[in-house]
Amino acid sequence: MSKIELPATAPLLTRKGWSAFLVALLLVCALAPALNLLVPEGSIFHLSDYAVALLGRIMCYAICALAMDLIWGYTGILSLGHGLFFALGGYVMGMYLMRQIGRDGNYKSDLPDFMVFLDWKELPWHWALSDSFLATLALVVLVPGVVAFVFGYFAFRSRIKGVYFSIITQAMTFAAMLLFFRNETGFGGNNGFTDFKRILGMPIATHNMRMALFVLTGLTLLAFFLLARWLVRAKFGRVLQAIRDAESRVMFSGYNPLGYKLAIWTLSAVMCGIAGALYVPQVGIINPGEMSPANSIEIAIWAAVGGRGTLIGPIVGAFVVSGAKSWLTVAAPEFWLYFLGGLFIVVTLFLPDGVVGLVKKLRALKKNKPAVKEST
């Protein structure tokens, strides 16, 4: 009896894909800094500090949307709690940035200002490594990863799935938000962390630092896109898609879905944590509001609008929705929530494959359209 072989893994990117990737890399690493530093401020091609911060923030959102696509689009697990992992990464970075303020704060103390205000005499135990940048980088990965692993292990082991899993993840992030609102937890209460001064000893509110963070965020997004593409095109990714389509058949075929689901769930949480760590120094604040269930729902909307199961779709969705939010909340803030709700309904009813799916259908129709004969 001949051995059944899996089809060979497709190359990571096609020739056109690598060309597009190199163009994106060039835009992030060369063109964007040039537009910010070399083009005169009066030019339409000049990127203002606001535009750099906005694009950097949206790229952080795009990383979260990509993480959501891995677990929802490719594995069929809808999480309404990924805002928690984003906020955890942000809080870890925020703790380091608060320690960097030192005696430049309002109270001229080695303790963060909010601790002095609350009459704290020393740092709590969970702030022990917050003055080390290397420890902060490690904790940005470990804290969301460990929380996701522990939660996912018990949830997937108990075979919780579907809407029940979504509700539990939403309850988890809401409970964490209430915990972080409490002053005695040592996370700044409802005000959170803000008024950052330095990162790695360098001023944070400068043109060069903003651009450096922008470039770093863009490179991280590109790296995660390549990692996600490699994963979904490998055997691991095919098993994930089989779990999404028919988990019981996967079990009957001899695969244990627990390990695959737990691995991709933990990876997606780590991606959100890194996005949160990049987000905080660019925005300049982190508070428990980042853990609100509405933020987690918005991550799912980015993936749905762009197109689940496409990788590039959620990135497009993050830029489209977040860009519309930035414009509408200024031009007509009272209509933003109506627009978001209507957009989700339209996508659900008429565009189940999102914007990218619609583009693919239109291209297919154009390609297959029969030629019209000229009448004689």
Q: What is the DSSP letter of 46?
A: -
Q: Please give the span between the terminal C-alpha atoms of the chain, in angstroms, as a whole number.
A: 63
Confidence of residue 7 (pLDDT cuts 50, 70, 90): very low
Measured between alpha carbons, how far is residue 170 from residues 79, 132, 140, 189 in Å? 8, 32, 22, 21
pLDDT band at 357 (very low <50, low <70, confident <90, very high): confident
Q: Which two tokens stand for residue 331?
A: 């031009």
Task: Tell me how far apart the alpha carbons of residues 284 and 135 are, in angstroms, rounded to a whole number.
Answer: 21
CA distance 353 to 103: 53
What pLDDT is attached to residue 48? Answer: 77
Q: Which residue has the tokens 């691991």?
A: 236
Scan for tokens 């004969």, then name that residue: 373
The interaxial angle of helices 49-68 and 312-331, nearest 10 deg, is: 130
Least confident of 37-51, 186-200, 260-274, 302-316: 37-51
Give whole-number Cα distances, 132 to 39, 82, 86, 138, 170, in Å.
37, 26, 21, 10, 32
* 189-223 tens-digit pLDDT: 999 999 899 998 899 988 888 888 998 999 899 89
- State pLDDT tens for residues 143-179: 999 999 999 999 999 999 889 999 999 999 999 999 9
pLDDT band at 243 (very low <50, low <70, confident <90, very high): very high
User: In this structure, which amino acid lies at residue 139?
Assistant: L
pLDDT digits (tens, 9 = 90+) for 99-135: 998 877 777 788 888 898 888 888 999 999 999 999 9
372 DSSP assignment? P
